[in-house]
Amino acid sequence: MNTFSIGESIRFGWETFKKRPLLIIGAFVIAMVISGVSSALLDPGEDAPFTFTTLLMGIASGVIGLFVEIGLVTFSLRAHDNVGSAKVADLWNPKPFLNYILSQALVALGVLVGLILLIVPGVMLAVGWMFTSYLIIDKDRGPLEAIKESWKMTKGHKGQLFLFVLTIIGLNILGLLALVVGLLVTVPVSMLAVVHVYRKLSGAAPVQVA
């Protein structure tokens, strides 16, 4: 059975980050700026009257946000496997958009139902399906196929994965407390650590280069 170490995954993320910190921080900042600007310009706000225009603006803001999410996952995958060849252009990856949005909707619905039932099932589903987006972007899986494969990958590891997620949350709280600027380090390191766990559980060995 494939397995992983929480500490080793965090260390891998940190060591990878140190090899090209300016590139990794730069890509993260660009993604956040795009997301922030689009939200500021297109999000009509809670108090705005509902019109066809505000509806379109909200949809456009959401679509851009999804493209940013896909870009960050794509960049993290490529930086993890070969940080020497990773580039900012990796943030643009529109191909899996349809499968990505469908899978996110299915996962969100399933987790919501689980949370409404007894909370614990929702948490278990969230952990079990946490690699769905990675499978869609990395292996071009369809939504249902990715959900099933993510659940299979995490079988027998959900308790450890839950602890891993809590560790990641704690790491980023520390980054937030470090005058917020610390998030420029902790978030990229966290994303690389998540990819490392994904690679470990999928049975794919990292191909990191200097």
Residue 110 CA to residue 100 CA, distance in Å, equals 15
pLDDT tens digits, residue range 109-158? 999 998 888 788 889 999 999 999 999 999 999 999 999 999 999 999 99
Query: How many residues make up the chain in this entry?
Result: 210
Single pTM value for the model: 0.90
**Band of the pLDDT at 1, cuts 50, 70, 90?**
low
Q: What is the pLDDT at residue 45?
A: 67
21 CB contacts (<8 Å, ≥6 apart)? 185
pLDDT above 70 covers what percent of the chain? 94
Kindly state the DSSP code that residue 48 receives in the 8-state scheme.
Answer: S
Distances, alpha carbon 165 to alpha carbons 41, 45, 83, 84, 176, in Å: 32, 31, 23, 27, 16
Residue 57 CA to residue 176 CA, distance in Å, equals 30
87 or 115, which is more confident?
87
**Band of the pLDDT at 204, cuts 50, 70, 90?**
low
Q: What is the pLDDT at residue 51?
A: 83
Q: Are 208 and 202 in contact (CB under 8 A)?
A: no
Average pLDDT value for the chain: 91
**Band of the pLDDT at 181, cuts 50, 70, 90?**
confident
Q: What does the buried/exposed string (b/e) look like for 122-139 if buried means 16 or more CB atoms within 10 Å of the residue's CB?
A: bbbbbbbbbbbbbbbbbe
Q: What is the pLDDT at residue 210?
A: 31
Amino acid identity of residue 131, one-letter, is: F
Angle at alpha carbon of residue 162, lines to 158 and 165, rounded to 5°: 135
Kindly state the DSSP code that residue 203 receives in the 8-state scheme.
Answer: T
